[in-house]
Chain A
Amino acid sequence: MADPMRIRASMQGDKVLVRVLMSHEMETGQRKDESGSVVPAHFIQSVSAVHNGKTVLSAEWGPAVSKNPFLQFQFAGGKLGDKIQIIWTDNKGDTRTDEATVS
């Protein structure tokens, strides 16, 4: 089970600003390890953010997104105390969902 994300959701005026740090190797499949074998590709392919049952962001990622990815976006219609979920799925089918409260 992958490590938890660090999600910060705050009110900026009337928008909710969301900042996410994810823990993921984002391995490109190009690198070789010490013994010379290729380290297989392992990267987050899709990300979505959900607020009150509605998707507020969706993304497709490739391995060129940096290791331990960062994501920031903002949307209208949220308020203090609301919950935001971030879901990622990687090319191996691993997935992680974390939730934060708008504060």
Chain B
Amino acid sequence: MRKGLVAALVVLALGAGSGHARAQSDADTLKGIEKYREALADDNPADLWEARGAELWAARRGPKSSSLAQCDLGKGPGVVKGAYAELPRYFADADRVMDLETRLLHCMVALQGFSAAEATRRTFGNGGSRSDFEALSAFVAAQSKGAKMNVSLEHPKERAAYLLGEQMFFYRGGPHDFACATCHGESNKRIRLQDLPNLTDAKDAQRAYTAWPAYRVSQGELRTMQWRLNDCFRQQRFPQLKFASDTSIALTVFLAHNANGGVFSAPTVKR
């Protein structure tokens, strides 16, 4: 069923037709799309989120009227440079593996005194209504530009998270019997004109993971990995993926570790 479904999607994308002429127009189209992507790469609207994130990081907020400047993202309190490329990771003070957004939530609660409910009132922004997580993620991610992905699995909980993430990646469920692997487990597949990275292949995984967070043109917003996974679950018709849940973190560990060695380039701009 699932191979058939993928095949059907591929046929839908490629349409009827055969031979060299189609291969040539494929190549032209892809070149055209590349040109479109390049034209958007400079002057990325994500810069606006990054600027806001820098302000949020430094601003005194919450009941404790404190900034996030002492937040430990894994490389020491307040060290932002290079932190994203090593996340997710185990944090002893929470006895838990955390991705960036979960760690930011932790700091908002621990340092600034917000309740978890208050802090997560808006996790994904929408038009007039903003998400601090998106702005802070853009800021923190930008400070890892150029760094090589280096997610460790030394701690037993990190290893357990990776294995759970891997299990989730291949887990078929929902009314369409989809797994992440259905779309992302084979090479050279696409849906319409969107190439699907094979997230079990090192090169594809590196290219895919190091491009998030990203300004999604179709969303008109800066989107993060928590959003990306949440939206994949939606497209698979899975139950909603909870923000900062163990599942979301486990999947992120799986994807991020598979991308180790890749040069981080986010925030990028995507369709």
Contacts and interface: CB of A to CB of B under 8 A. Distances in A.
Interface of A: 3-4, 6, 19, 21, 23, 25, 27, 39, 67-68, 70, 72
B128 to A, nearest CB: 7
A35 B180 CA distance: 32
A87 B68 CA distance: 32
A72 B43 contact: yes
Contacts of B43: 19, 21, 70, 72
Interface size range of chain B in the complex? 10 to 19
Say what secondary structure dominates the interface of chain B: loop
Contact of A68 (B42, B45, B51, B52): B45
Contacts of B127: 25, 27, 39
Contact of A6 (B47, B215, B220): B47
Nearest to A71: B43
Most buried by B among A6, A25, A68: A68
B59 interface: no
Given A6-B47, A23-B48, A25-B128, 17 more contacts: A3-B48, A4-B51, A6-B48, A6-B51, A19-B42, A19-B43, A21-B43, A21-B45, A21-B47, A25-B127, A27-B127, A67-B45, A68-B45, A68-B48, A70-B43, A70-B45, A72-B43
A23 B42 CA distance: 16
Nearest to A70: B43
Nearest to B44: A21
A70 to B, nearest CB: 5
B52 A3 contact: yes
Interface string B119-134: 0000000011000000
Nearest to A68: B45
Contacts of A3: 48, 52
Contacts of A6: 47-48, 51
A67 B219 CA distance: 10
A3 B127 CA distance: 13
B250 to A, nearest CB: 31
A67 B47 contact: no
Interface in B117-151: 127-128
A27 B126 CA distance: 13
Contacts of B48: 3, 6, 21, 23, 68
22 contacts: A3-B48, A3-B52, A4-B51, A6-B47, A6-B51, A19-B42, A21-B43, A21-B47, A21-B48, A23-B48, A25-B127, A27-B127, A39-B127, A67-B45, A67-B220, A68-B45, A68-B48, A68-B215, A68-B220, A70-B43, A70-B45, A72-B43
A70 B215 CA distance: 14
Nearest to B42: A19
Interface string B70-93: 000000000000000000000000
A8 B141 CA distance: 21
A90 B215 CA distance: 23
Q: 3 closest A-B pairs (Cβ-Cβ)? A: A68-B45, A67-B220, A23-B48
